[in-house]
Amino acid sequence: MPEETFLDRPIDRRSFIKGGMAFVSAATAMPPAFLRATFDDNSIPIADVTKEMAASIGRRVLVVLQMAGGNDGLNTVIPLNDPGYFNARPGLAQNPESTLPLGNGLAFNGVMKGMKGLWDQQRMAVVLGVGYPNPNRSHFRAMDIWHTASTTNVTGNGWIGRLMDATTHETDSAWRVANIGNELPRSLFADSVFVPSLSSIPAYVLSTDRKFSKDADRRLQTFAQLNARYAQDAAVQAEYGGSLAFVSQTGFEAYQSTVMLQTDAKTYTSKVPYPTTPLAQAFKTAATLIMSRLGTGVVYITTGGFDTHSGQGAAQSRLLQTVSDAVGAFYADLAAQEAAEDVSTVMWTEFGRRIKENGSGGTDHGTSTPMFVIGGGVKPGLYGSQPSTTSTDSNGDLKYATDFRSVYASIIEQRFGVASKDVLGQSYTTLPLFA
């Protein structure tokens, strides 16, 4: 029996993209001629990908911000009228006089001025007490639960990936979904959707051998031509069971995505200054993707550092200010571009923190936490109910009031017009988050 080769083994899109995208380098910049690269072979359908790109935004866009580590919800949305909060946190409780009132005895942390501005503009919904039954306190398991919207099948595709699979069209842009970061989050794992990951726009290019930099254009054209040809070759598919064709198609899509991005990103210029933090620059990249003629519909951003077991006071304040300032600048930019009504942002973290502060000036892994939904079409206000710090669950943690999948279901149905049960696997009560 002949030895099995790579091409004989089955391969799926997610596995290939996750493990085989090294040629899209974050460290190698191409010469300017690359941006003018064209195909000598007229049979290569580069135009097919660009013909459906919107001349202006004119579509609904979802931005997802994951606050990794487990953000302390009690020090983000402060329960001013709950004595148990102040008793449990003699060192960490926020001074009511420094907070930013939201009404109903609740207030934002005083550093969250950017997000408070959006609240005052009636562009934000705060969903209180979000969680799920039998919560998991492991970062990895909890993240997978939120990524997949399942407590049992946490190794499957992500909820956004399934949503995109359910609404995929052959004419969709290669930039329909984008991840800003170096690692693809499970939320975006899909069967039929190409998901580029980028750290920045200038860095998203195909690498060639630096020893032959003058030959870069020819090498890139050859790469694209070969991949396009193999992807469409019936004989190749018959011989290799589609594996080579699949790899070639994915490679060609990667090439197309670089050409599209480097060309069309030039059409956008931000109209407000962004902070210099990496997170704010990620949101600026998101604005570039959205406002360029790329057809982007989903952008995913991850920021970390929220696992505040010690020294939480100053650390979380810096993190919350960074998030708030970045989101505020992003929506100020979109408003200046007359696009704010088209873009909705949802913010989540894998769990909250325990009610009582620990002996290290921090808090340990807890349960429920607020979610934030901002921007286009949002019906502003407070949703759910703030959990009590004294009427707790059997572990002494906050009880949850709203299942996080209810928020997902609301987004899926009210912004994408898709039956949420088809994406989430079962029905969840929706909230009237969008007009």
DSSP assignment of 199-228 equals S-TTT-EE---GGGGGGHHHHHHHHHHHHH
**Sole residue written with tokens 């505020």:** 328
Residue-by-residue pLDDT tens, the chain, 435 positions: 444 443 344 445 444 444 444 344 333 323 222 222 333 333 333 333 333 333 345 589 999 999 999 999 999 999 999 999 999 999 999 999 999 999 999 999 999 999 999 999 999 999 999 999 999 999 999 999 999 999 998 989 999 999 999 997 766 788 999 999 999 999 999 998 889 999 999 988 766 666 666 665 666 666 666 656 655 666 666 666 556 556 666 666 677 788 889 888 888 899 999 999 999 999 999 999 999 988 999 999 999 999 999 999 999 999 999 999 999 999 999 999 999 999 999 999 999 999 999 999 999 999 999 999 999 899 999 999 999 999 999 999 999 999 999 999 999 999 999 999 999 999 999 999 999
| Identity of the residue numbered 173 | S
Structure tokens at 163: 């949503």
What confidence score (pLDDT) does residue 61 get? Answer: 96
Q: How far is Cα 33 from Cα 160, in angstroms, rounded to an integer?
A: 36
| C-alpha closest to that of 80 among 317, 389, 314 | 389
DSSP label at residue 176? S
Q: Residue 290, Cβ neighbours under 10 Å: how many?
A: 26
Residue 128 host element (H or E):
strand 124-131
Q: How many CB atoms lie within 10 A of CB 254?
A: 22
Of residues 345, 391, 395, the one with CA closest to residue 371? 345
- β-sheet bridge partners, residue 378: 434
Question: Is residue 285 helix, strand or coil?
Answer: helix
Domains and their CATH numbers in the chain: 6-53+203-262 (no CATH), 61-200+271-424 (3.40.720)
pLDDT of residue 30: 31
Q: By three-state DSSP, how is residue 369 classified? A: strand
Question: How far is the C-alpha of 173 from the C-alpha of 256, rounded, in Å?
Answer: 10
Residues 267/289, Cβ–Cβ less than 8 Å: no
pLDDT of res. 219: 63
Q: What is the pLDDT of residue 144?
A: 98
Query: CA 411 to CA 63: how far, in whole Å?
Result: 11
pLDDT of residue 241: 58
Q: Closest Cα to residue 325, out of 104, 158, 109, 18?
A: 109
User: Residue 48: its pLDDT value, please?
Assistant: 39
CA distance 359 to 229: 63
